[in-house]
Structure 1
């Protein structure tokens, strides 16, 4: 059976964008949204990301989940972990939970033993590599996932999900491809390592640079007069929400710390070679990397 009823728990930027993408690509079923903020669900409803908005109470979310084929968990990592615990005893083997969490090791570990056995609901861990530095349903975009990678981190545990849940999982993977995403599979550990370098490190670099400039130029008059495109691009991520990145720092600590340490060492190397040929070599390597993207 194809997916007919979807519950989106968390109708912020990613959740509402998923709803818009589903509807713009021909999803004929029902999408119900839930969020702890009634304002977020109202905006998601008004923009057409969802068909129905549930009350902000937790029990209302559970009611919606019980009556859905697929439950999409969209929010910070800690929130997703909490929902995995809440939903496990409420669902049947004919249902599927999937997520958009930015860290997969901790999420897959939490799901172990609670999902993907014949008598349990299925769980398909996922992560679209798409977003904005601003959140909320008001900033949602149905085209957000076009040409972006949508990563899935199935493990040996997911091979044990019921036939009904596997059918839903395959259907959901097909929907993400319809959004224009490049569907890729990675092991959870590899996902967290790669994302620490290509997603998490850029965020913490932008945060550190933005915070440093705030300390150095609190009035911002000179910055506004002199700073150009390079400054805006380098600090764009500095306005990202703390709650999301706090959770990533807590659940992918080792990989993030390793990438930050490597960057510290590289910056030290640059500082020590500002007047040597080594500086040119760094620019050559940087251009090789950029030209290869």
Structure 2
């Protein structure tokens, strides 16, 4: 099988490398010729080009671009393809992508592999990035079951744990466990650096250790990705932020009124529940 991958950064490149190692003929497309050459030299792909027409010989295509470029890319490539090609994506938001993509191309299957590192670009590509990572498939009612199974099988081959749900449920869930943490973490960093007493800020920087490192990691990540999360999953992210704000107000009230039993109950509950999310 010949598989096309558009976007040879961390996700697309790592997927290409794993599929190449599994024996697939992988055809990569990147905006930069330099990236294409690197991908061939490192045996990440079998072929690579800056032009979409190279994808005409593929059976399945993965769009591994930033969220904001998925639909634009889809519109640009479909004129080069036979009608039976399956197209899928890796975007972290599905509700604003899958319905429109399916209107453009009936053989579209939404997908979201939840893997990655803080690094970017083809230099960040690594083998087995998706091993034991969740991958959510988000078909619509009219999505071909055969196409869904084919996409599932490919992600399973690179090591993913496969889940299936609707685009709406996906977006609600990732708002809580992915998009909301980015905003909370970013606000933690922002609040620290904007403290009115610079001496406190300087000392905080010196004392920051594993706790601050863990809670600030996602807030110090790729700004473009965080912005797109907010833009393309706006409604669900706002709902999560508002509910979080309400819960935070309860904690503030418990501390102000010294309701230590309530706080202890909360901390005991979160201590017990956290492993269920990991």
TM-based fold match above 0.5:
yes
Note the residue ranges of structure 2 that are not aligned, 5 or more in a row. none
In structure 1, what is the equivalent of residue 269 of structure 2? 285
Rounded to whole Å, the distance in 1 between the matches of 2:246 and 2:35 is 42
Structure 2 counterpart of 1:14, from 3, 11, 14: 11
Matched, 1:32 2:27: yes
In structure 2, what is the equivalent of residue 240 of structure 1? 221
Rounded to whole Å, the distance in 2 between the matches of 1:37 and 1:213 is 39
Rounded to whole Å, the distance in 2 between the matches of 1:239 and 1:32 is 33
Contact 2:102 2:108 in 1 (8 A): no
User: What SS does structure 1 have at the residue aligned with 2:96?
Assistant: helix
Rounded to whole Å, the distance in 1 between the matches of 2:74 and 2:86 is 11
Matched, 1:23 2:2: no
Q: What pairs with 1:1-293 in structure 2 (closer than 5 Å)?
A: 4-24=1-21, 26=22, 28-55=23-50, 60=51, 62-116=52-106, 122-159=107-144, 166=146, 169-216=148-195, 221-274=202-255, 275-276=258-259, 277-293=261-277
Contact 2:98 2:109 in 1 (8 A): no
Contact 1:152 1:184 in 2 (8 A): yes
Cα displacement (A) at 1:42? 4.1
Rounded to whole Å, the distance in 2 between the matches of 1:270 and 1:45 is 54
Note the residue ranges of structure 1 that are not aligned, 5 or more in a row. 117-121
TM-score, normalization by structure 2 = 0.89
- Cα RMSD (Å): 2.1
Cα displacement (A) at 1:100? 0.2
Structure 1 261/16 Cα, relative in aligned 2: closer, same or farther at 3 Å? same
The runs of at least 4 aligned residues of structure 1 exceeding 6 Å deviation read 217-220
Rounded to whole Å, the distance in 2 between the matches of 1:75 and 1:212 is 32
TM-score, normalization by structure 1 = 0.85
Contact 1:44 1:138 in 2 (8 A): no
